[in-house]
Structure 1
Amino acid sequence: MRLIHTADWHLGQSLHGFERRYEQQCFLNWLLATLVDKQADALIIAGDIFDTANPSAVAQQQLYQFLTAARASLPHLNTVLIAGNHDSPARLEAPRPFLQLLDAVVSGQVWRLPNGQHDLASLVVPLKDRTGAVAAWCLAVPFLRPADLPKVTSEQDAFLAGVEGVYAQTLAIAQSQATDQQAIIALGHCYLQGGAASQDSERRIMIGNSEALPASIFSPALTYVALGHLHLAQSVGQTDWIRYAGSPLPMSFAETQYPHQVLCVDLAGSRLAAVESVRIPRFVELLRVPAKPAPLDQVVAALQALELAALPETEQPYLEVRVQLTAPEPGLRQRIEDALKDKPVRLAKIETRYLRTEGDENELAPLSLEDLAELDPLHLLTELYQQKYATDLPSELSQAFHQLLQETQLEAV
């Protein structure tokens, strides 16, 4: 059986005010062609389908048109998609009855049974081969919030114990149904210890002191673990069976050098036979000029020297200009825009860095205005608490604040 593992599409995302519908559609077109070329049996999407909990109508149309086209091109295709921390579970699951007609299973949250118990059995999904026979089982575990977790009596961190409990119980349910020749794979949208995170574009996940979960939450009895959340494609713990697919497009200028990909996963019975990285073309370039912040006169000269191909606006590169200053420069933007006049490029961001002392090029101020804009509220609270009380933020306060942030993000849905 052949699976395509992908994640972190962030449909509807804009880059510093520029909407990215063209690039996102290029990726979806490429993915459809790749599914057909690889003759995939299943498509696994490990969360953050949309960039916000309240995606635009255009972003939703892109997803559903793609799923419809994929099913039409590959009538045997199974699709499993889970909610990530950017997604609204309710919004993602709303079209569930229609998606079932496409053999697409969506898992947004852990539902409760009439008796109040968590319905973990509904997260265990059969995957069929092209003959219609069950060939593997999938633990479709979405991004887990505290309300999704069954209570577990344990001396360890309550959130960690709850996550371990979800995976252990869903695995037991799958094992009770699987044969010796059927693989069991798990999905997850989380931050594992040892994973490399993007410095700009990944929203922090923090529950108490368990921002990063140990890879040991995944049993060796699993054949493959398909992860989302981290935008850098990577395996975890030097394994070949626990992997982040990474984002298909760079979500920020910090990700311009990432190896964007999907993973082609081959199962042979219950065994992992092969994992192939399939690189995704760069549909629109992201440029950083210069490579490191430099004095304004040097930056202007570098911009004037840019030679770029004439392209339609939707295909023109995005540009981040990186300037090193010793004092505020009132005419900064105007000088940069003048240097770029008539050049086929989209000025997305001007990064300014200030020297501590004139002539000391290695001592940059610790935070620029852009750095401050990229900090999330929980990180700021943690830093302020540390500064004021000289101790770590208590876990109960962190949990309460995290829950408040999630409720705020979803209140518009």
Structure 2
Amino acid sequence: MKLLHTSDWHLGQSFFTKTRKNEHQAFMQWLLQQVESEQIDAVIIAGDIFDTGTPPSYARELYNHFVVELQKRQCRLVVLGGNHDAVAVLNESRQLLACLNSYVIASTDLPLTEQVILLPDRSGAIGAIVCAVPFIRAKDILQSSAGTGGLEKRQALGEAIAQHYQAIYAYALELRQQQQLEVPIITTGHLTALGVSQSESVREIYIGTLDGFAAEGFPPADYIALGHIHRPQKVAKTEHIRYSGSPIPLSFDELNTEKQVVVVEFTGAKRQHIRTLAVPQFQPMQVLRGDLAELARAIPTVAANYPEQTVWLCLEVMTEDFLPDLQQRIQKLVEGSNVDILQLKRLKNAKRQALTSEQQQTLAELTPEQVFAKRLAMEDFTDETAEARRNRIQQHFTQLVSELAQGQQS
């Protein structure tokens, strides 16, 4: 049995007003080629197939086209709902896609028996059992109760998610034993595991209730295919618990990580290989940093590297002075070239000295709030996305300090 794990396609994303349609189209064509050359038995998309709950018509068309083309290649498909996906949108075609050897699990609001999939290989024989766990919404597994604090809510949600994993895995074990199958058990998930590295494009999905799910809460499955984190990585230094990451960069800070999909191969119930396939970059994107003179030299060089395509740039302008006409100066640098400036950031060197401006001040003389404020001052929060991130960080810190104070009083 040969599985391909991918996630976080975010079909329909608008990237600084730019459509990603051509990139997604090129990625799907590339993925279909890999399915053929690698003889993949099943593709698992671990959540966030769409970017919003109301995806544009072209995004739905891309999705449907991929399902049909995958069916022609005798490959099964498992689609899990993510926090960006609307349950109703995924469910509207669920029964139809079932006729095309595609399994759609949009939410946990299904009988447990329908969340465990006996997944056939290319020959039609059962090749794996999949515990199909989508994004778990708190309302689906928890009952709210008055008087519970933030820490209690986090603990309750984490325990409820772990219990769901254990219940679905126990059913899969029972099913494997009943049918006397020598096949692996695959588990999926769409959440934030503790200790992972996130990017700017990842939205928090359990705001105020769950910071991250501990790896110990996962069952001992043979492979755990995760989604939600856009940077590919292993969880808790384990080979078999992985985020595949998004196939295209969903923010500029993801450009320093190679995009990939994960191929997992089994012989019987034994895992033989886990390896990754690098996804090509279909849209030229780059981050340039420097003062105006340095950027004036760098931009033409970047443009010349892609004579047949438009290059999307994020510029980080280093300047000590406030330049009211910075936007106009930058526009002059790219006039007549194949370059689009999608993001412009001002970087001031002075902010890096925020914690050392008061030379004689020690940590013992500062309150936790003052230390935290000085640390925040070192970061760049100049655009709307960054400002929203700053507010979330401040909210988490304030809540943590409050809970610690309450704990000391009790």
Q: Provide TM-score, normalisation by structure 2.
A: 0.84
Matched, 1:373 2:385: yes
Which of these residues, 285, 291, 294, is aligned with residue 295 of structure 1? 291
The residue type equivalent to 2:127 in the other structure is A
Question: Matches of 1:49 and 1:351 in 2, distance apart?
Answer: 30
1:136 matched residue in structure 2: 128
Distance 1:279-1:127 versus aligned 2 partners, 3 A rule? same
Give the match for residue 210 of structure 1.
210
Q: Does 1:92 align with 2:90?
A: yes
Counterpart-to-counterpart distance in 1, 2:405 and 2:122: 52
Gaps in structure 2 of 5+ consecutive residues: 145-151, 358-375
Provide the aligned C-alpha RMSD in A.
2.9
The CA distance in 1 between the partners of 2:351 and 2:226, in whole Å, is 45
Is 1:194–1:237's contact at 8 Å kept on the other side of the alignment? yes
Matched residues in 1 for 2:344 and 2:286: separation?
12
- CA distance in 2 between counterparts of 1:381 and 1:239 reads 30
Take 2:175 and 2:116, find their aligned partners in 1: how far apart are those partners? 10
In the TM superposition, 1:220-299 aligns within 5 A as 220=220, 222-290=221-289, 294-299=290-295
* Kept in 2: contact 1:186–1:226 (CA 8 A): yes
Instruction: Indicate which of 106, 119, 122 corresponds to 1:127.
Output: 119
Instruction: State the distance in 1 between where 2:353 and 2:240 align.
Output: 50
Displacement after TM superposition at 1:242 (Å)? 0.6
**Cα deviation per residue 1:266-307 (whole Å; 9 max; x = unaligned)?**
0111111111111111111211122xxx33333334335545
Conservation of the 8 A alpha-carbon contact between 2:208 and 2:396: no
Match of 1:107 among 91, 102, 105: 105
Aligned to 1:197: 198
DSSP 3-state at the match of 2:48 = coil
2:303·2:338 contact (CA, 8 Å) conserved in 1?
no
Q: Distance in 2 between matches of 1:124 and 1:376?
A: 38
Check 1:248–1:358 CA distance in 2 against 1; reply closer, same or farther (3 A cut).
Answer: closer
The one-letter code sitting in structure 2 at the alignment partner of 1:160 is: G
Q: Once the two structures are superposed, what CA deviation does each residue of 1:1-54 show, in whole Å capped at 9, x if it has no partner?
A: 001110011111122111111111100000011111111111100001111111
- Show CA shifts across 1:343-377 (max 9, x none): 112211111123437999x9995344535533547
State the alpha-carbon separation in 2 of the partners of residues 347 and 331 from structure 1: 15
Give the secondary-structure state (helix, strand or coil) at the position aligned to 1:391.
helix
Task: Describe the shift of the 1:37–1:305 C-alpha distance in structure 2 as closer, same or farther (beyond 3 A).
Answer: closer
| Number of residues of Structure 1 aligned to a counterpart in Structure 2 | 377
Question: What is the aligned-residue identity percentage?
Answer: 31
Give per-residue Cα distances to partners, 1:110-134, cap 9 Å, x unaligned.
225xxxxxx2221101100222121
CA distance, structure 1, for counterparts of residue 268 and residue 70 of structure 2: 25
Cα 1:241–1:357 change in 2 (3 A) is closer
Aligned partner of residue 299 in structure 2, secondary structure: helix
| Structure 1 unaligned residues grouped into runs of 5+ | 113-118, 396-413
Partner residue of 1:344? 338
Q: 2:322 — aligned with what?
A: 328
Greater RCO, 1 or 2 (C-alpha within 8 Å, sep 6+): 1
Name the amino acid aligned to 1:286. M
State how far apart, in whole Å, the 1-side matches of 2:353 and 2:172 are: 64
CA distances 1:69-121 after superposition (whole Å, capped 9, x unpaired): 1101x23x211010111111111111011101111011111225xxxxxx222
Q: CA distance change for structure 1 residues 325 and 188 in 2, over 3 Å: closer, same or farther?
A: same
Which of residues 378, 394, 402 in structure 2 aligns to 1:383?
Answer: 394
How far the C-alpha of 1:386 sits from its partner, in A, is 4.7
Partner of 1:3: 3
Q: Is the 8 A contact 2:381 2:387 kept in 1?
A: no
**Shift, 1:326, TM fit:** 2.6
1:325 Cα deviation from its structure 2 partner: 2.8
The separation in 1 between residues aligned to 2:224 and 2:276, in whole angstroms, is 15
C-alpha separation in 1, matches of 2:265 and 2:166: 24
Contact in 1 for aligned 2:186/2:225 (Cα 8 Å): yes
Name the CA shift for 1:358/1:287 in 2 (closer, same or farther; >3 Å): closer
Deviation track 1:187-228 (CA, whole Å, cap 9, x = no partner) reads 100111121111x110012254522101112122x1110001
In the superposition, the TM-score normalised over structure 1's length comes to 0.84
- Separation in structure 1 between the aligned mates of residue 378 and residue 166 of structure 2, nearest angstrom: 43
Rounded to whole Å, the distance in 2 between the matches of 1:368 and 1:374 is 7
Would the alpha carbon gap of residues 393 and 33 (structure 1) be closer, same or farther in structure 2, given more than 3 Å must change? farther
C-alpha spacing 1:22/1:392, structure 2 compared with 1 (3 Å) = farther
Choose between structure 1 and 2: higher helix proportion: 2
> What SS is found at the alignment partner of 2:51?
coil
Asked if structure 2 preserves the Cα contact closer than 8 Å seen for 1:7 and 1:47, the reply is: yes
> Could you say if the C-alpha distance between residues 334 and 183 of structure 1 is closer, same or farther in structure 2, counting changes exceeding 3 Å?
same
Is 1:120–1:166's contact at 8 Å kept on the other side of the alignment? no
